[in-house]
Amino acid sequence: MSIGALALKVRQKYEHGLTVAHYRDTVRPRILKTRPISNTTDTICEIHVLTSAKDWLNLMWALKSFYWASRRNYALCIHDDGTLTDEHRNTLQKHFPKARVIERKAADEYVLASLAKHPRCLEFRKNNHLAPKVLDFAAYLNSDRMLLLDSDILFFEEPAALLDRIENPEYQLNTINGDTASAFTVDPAIVKVQCGFDMVERFNSGLGLIHKASVNLDWIEDFLSLPNIIGHFWRIEQTLYALFSSKFGAELLPSAYDVHLEGDINGAPSRHYVGTIRHLMYGEGIRHLVKQGFLKDLC
C-alpha cells in the first residue's frame, strides 16, 4: 500500500475522532459475545428488517437493544438484501434462533411469483434494491401488526408510547417516527388531487407500527403510476409507506422519537442515526448503552 493510500485510510478511520473509531471498531463487535435472544415467539407483532453485509452488525445492536429495552418477545423476520454471506446469516440465526432469516434468492422466487397480477409492483421489485422493504415485508408478514425497524436505530429505555400503540387492539392507525422534514418522491399536492387524501408530513419509514391491512398491493400498484414516483432511489420505499399509511390512517409517534440531527439523546427512548449522523451511533449511542451496562446484561 502506498503512503498516500495509507494516509487516506487513516484519515477515513479517524474522521470523526478517536472515540468514534474505538466504539465502532473495537466495542461494536463485542455484541457477538452476548447471549442469543431465544424467545422471539410473540406474534402480537412481528419485527421485519432488511439488512446487508455493510449493516448487519449495526442491526445486531438495533435488535438486541430493542429486546433489552422493551422486554418484549416479538417475532422476528430478517431479510437479506442479497449481500449477506453464509457466515453472516448463520451468525444472525445463532443470535436469534427463532427468527426467520430470508435468503435473497428464495425471496426473489417467492415474491416475484406473488406479484404476477401487479405488473408495476413486479417491475419495481425487479429494479429497486429497497423494494423488498415494502413488498417482501408484506409477503412474509405472519402477524396483523408489523414493527418496522431500520438497522441504524438504538433503544436506551422502554419505548412505552410505541409499545402501547402496538399492543392496544383498539389502536388502528399506522404510527411512525417523524423525520426532520418531508422527503418524498411525489408532490403531496398531486397526491391530494389524484388520490384524494393528505400525506402525513415528515413521515420516516425507519421505525413504526404498520398494520398488515394497510400494505395493500392494489393501492401500491396505483401509487406506482403517480408522476415521477420512482424518482430518488433512497426515498421511494419511504414514499410508498407514507402513501399507503396515509390512505389507511396514520400519525407520527411522539416527538421524543423524531429524527434529530442536532443535540444528544436527551432522555429519548431511542435515536435514529440516519446517514449524516451515523458516526454518532458509535460515539454516542453504543457508548451510552455500554455505560448503561447493556453488554453485561446480555452476557
**Per-residue pLDDT tens for 227-245?**
989 876 678 999 999 999 9
CB-facing half-sphere around the CA of 208: CA atoms within 13 A: 26
Q: For residues 273 and 280, is the Cβ–Cβ distance under 8 A?
A: yes
Question: Cα separation of 212 and 146, whole Å?
Answer: 7
Model confidence pLDDT, tens digit, residues 50-107: 999 999 999 999 999 999 999 999 999 999 999 999 999 999 999 999 999 999 999 9
Q: What is the pLDDT of residue 232?
A: 67
List beta partners, residue 211. 145
Model confidence pLDDT, tens digit, residues 203-225: 999 999 999 999 999 999 999 99
Say which residue, 86 or 15, is predicted with more confidence. 86
Q: For residues 272 and 177, is the Cβ–Cβ distance under 8 A?
A: yes
Q: What is the pLDDT of residue 8?
A: 41
pTM to 2 decimals? 0.94
Q: Does 12 have pLDDT greater than 90?
A: no
Query: Exposed/middle/buried for 94, CB within 10 Å: 0-12, 13-18, 19+?
Result: exposed
18-291 homologous superfamily: Spore Coat Polysaccharide Biosynthesis Protein SpsA; Chain A (3.90.550.10)
